[in-house]
Amino acid sequence: MNKGSTPKIRFSTPLPAGEVVSLSVVFANDEGSILIEKDETDVTVGDYEISFTLSQIETLGLPDTGAVEAQIRIRDTSGTAYISNIVRVDVGRVLKEGLL
């Protein structure tokens, strides 16, 4: 994704929508500092998918070059917790920063 863009993010999940009780999606830098965090109130929970759109302000706060790490955690109606592998997401720089 590029800084200043509004990408739609989708995660596949092992659960239908009705079984998701709580969730957390985190984007962090290489040092582990959380840059963006979303919970169940910030996303659309579908059957076997979670999606949301990042704002320009959120992506402008990402590092100029390199990558960020993303991970999702979900708890279902039975109390089982699911945690994804950490995924690296490349972040492209822009020539001129700021909101459009």
pLDDT value at position 43? 98
* Number of domains forming the structure of the chain: 1
Q: CATH number of the domain at 42, please.
A: 2.60.40
84: pLDDT confidence band, cut at 50, 70 and 90? very high
DSSP conformation letters of the chain: -BTT---EEEEE-SS-GGGEEEEEEEEE-TT--EEEEEETTTSEEETTEEEEE--HHHHHTS-SSSEEEEEEEEEETTS-EEEPPPEEEE-B--SS-S--
| Residue span of the structural domain in which 69 resides | 8-90
Q: Looking at the chain, how many residues does it have?
A: 100
Residue 32 is assigned to a structural domain of this protein: yes
Residue 96 is assigned to a structural domain of this protein: no
pLDDT value at position 11? 95
Single pTM value for the model: 0.91
Residue 97 is assigned to a structural domain of this protein: no
Residue 3 is assigned to a structural domain of this protein: no
Residue 20 is assigned to a structural domain of this protein: yes
pLDDT at 65 > cutoff 80: no
pLDDT value at position 32? 86
